[in-house]
Chains A and B, each alone.
Chain A
Amino acid sequence: MQCSKCGNPKVIYKREQSGQLLCKDCFIESIEKKVIKTVRKEKLLDRGDKVLVALSGGKDSVTTLEILNSFRQMNVIDICAVTVDEGIANYRQEGVDIAKRHAERLGIEHKVVSLKEDYGITLDEIMQRPKHKGSCTYCGVFRRTIINKAAREMGATKIATGHNLDDEVQGIMMNYLEGNTDNLTKLGAKTESQAEEFTVKIKPLREIPEREIGLYVVAKELEVHFDSCPYAMQSFRGEVSEVINQLTEKHPTIKYSTLRGYDKIKGVLKKEMQKEYAHGRCKRCGEPSANDLCKACSFLEELGV
């Protein structure tokens, strides 16, 4: 058995979808090349961009930072990072510390924003309320709002998130299964909002399977926070993920074909299904909002915060 590319007998990975065998160096190179290819193909970066990396300290965001940093080293872009501390006891702090160390190692501007400081409540406190909408609903909305604000404050022109192939395929299937055509129009490698205040979001890892990102960080010996969010079990995403992974065992290319199929129909979907943007403002915080209150503020009102 030897590496399909260089002949090295120390194989660390077998790509089920292609049968390709790879040694450590060729595997690392293949991931980096593929991400760079996505960046070029989807035109994710423009010369002079300041990219804000949403850095949790987990494998996906650390990989995003690591590979985008190669563009920074070539003076194509500048990078900054923000870490959101949702206030999840015995879970988040380690990720925050790891994120700080990566930002320091690379010498990039980094900011930690906590839900407690910004909104006066932690996710743990929300979850103790008798009536709540589920952890991921709050976490997603608050995190998005915090990251958008940080991008404006730090002068970022793009926001890079660590969404991988599995995340993207889960998003496509979840929204399809829920009949959420509005959200379905918002997926993709690059999402531009009609509101100027919302910075363009890019997903450089969207063609890399989650397992390959895990192997990449171990192979490159990057420090990451490998742990499960204590609230993860409650999500519909988890159920969808399980079904897709079961299908992948017999059909190893199914995640790629789901992504390709979505990319083919995305243009039509957007044209036919995208809602007209309402140029309103949230009465409470002033952020762009279709209703009187933006999602984050309507949650805060319900929570009495």
Chain B
Amino acid sequence: MEFTLKYKDINEKREMPDEDYTIKDLLDELELSAQTVVSKQNGELVIEDTVIQDGDEIQIVQIIYGG
């Protein structure tokens, strides 16, 4: 069970630790605030409660920068 993460220069395959692994869990792991990013699952915007599926491509776009 793995998915592809795209964030800034990162483009890598990652293992899913459990079946109910959500985008929110991923953001927590990456120490990113849901307030500063938006997430896409296979190219479509989704909310952070979305459960990541096997083979998904998850793209995280930072929309808020300090200052």
Interface string of A181-224 (1 = CB under 8 A from B): 00000000000000000000000000000110011011100000
Chain B interface size, under 10 / 10 to 19 / 20 to 34 / 35 or more? 10 to 19
Alpha-carbon gap, A204 to B45, bound state (A): 25
Interface string of A207-251 (1 = CB under 8 A from B): 000110011011100000011110111010110010001001000
- Contact A237 B67, beta carbon cutoff 8 Å: yes
Within 8 Å by CB of A227, from B46, B61, B65, lies: B65
Residues of A within 8 A of B49 (CB): 1, 14
Residues of B within 8 A of A121 (CB): none
Within 8 Å by CB of A226, from B35, B47, B65, B67, lies: B65
Nearest to A218 among chain B residues (CB) is B38
Alpha-carbon gap, A199 to B44, bound state (A): 42
Q: Does B66 contact A (CB under 8 A)?
A: yes
- Contact B61 A226, beta carbon cutoff 8 Å: yes
Q: Does A283 contact B (CB under 8 A)?
A: no
Q: Is the interface of B mostly helix, strand, loop or mixed?
A: loop
Q: Does B62 contact A (CB under 8 A)?
A: yes
Chain A interface size, under 10 / 10 to 19 / 20 to 34 / 35 or more? 20 to 34
Alpha-carbon gap, A13 to B34, bound state (A): 11
Within 8 Å by CB of B47, from A12, A228, A232, lies: A12
Q: Does A295 contact B (CB under 8 A)?
A: no
- Contact B45 A228, beta carbon cutoff 8 Å: no
Q: A217 → chain B, closest Cβ, in Å? A: 8
- Contact A211 B35, beta carbon cutoff 8 Å: yes
Nearest to B62 among chain A residues (CB) is A226
Q: A293 → chain B, closest Cβ, in Å? A: 28
- Contact A238 B67, beta carbon cutoff 8 Å: yes
Nearest to A212 among chain B residues (CB) is B63
Q: Does A11 contact B (CB under 8 A)?
A: yes
Alpha-carbon gap, A59 to B62, bound state (A): 12
Within 8 Å by CB of B65, from A1, A211, A232, A248, lies: A232
Alpha-carbon gap, A21 to B65, bound state (A): 25
| Contacting residues of chain B (32-63) with chain A, CB-CB under 8 angstroms | 35-36, 38, 44-47, 49, 61-63
Q: Does A24 contact B (CB under 8 A)?
A: yes
Alpha-carbon gap, A194 to B35, bound state (A): 39
Residues of A within 8 A of B44 (CB): 10
Residues of A within 8 A of B67 (CB): 228-229, 231-233, 235, 237-238
Nearest to B37 among chain A residues (CB) is A214
Q: A174 → chain B, closest Cβ, in Å? A: 13
Q: Does B30 contact A (CB under 8 A)?
A: no
- Contact A214 B47, beta carbon cutoff 8 Å: no
Q: Which residues of B contact A (CB under 8 A)?
A: 35-36, 38, 44-47, 49, 61-67
Q: Which residues of A contact B (CB under 8 A)?
A: 1, 10-14, 21, 24, 59, 210-211, 214-215, 217-219, 226-229, 231-233, 235, 237-238, 241, 245, 248
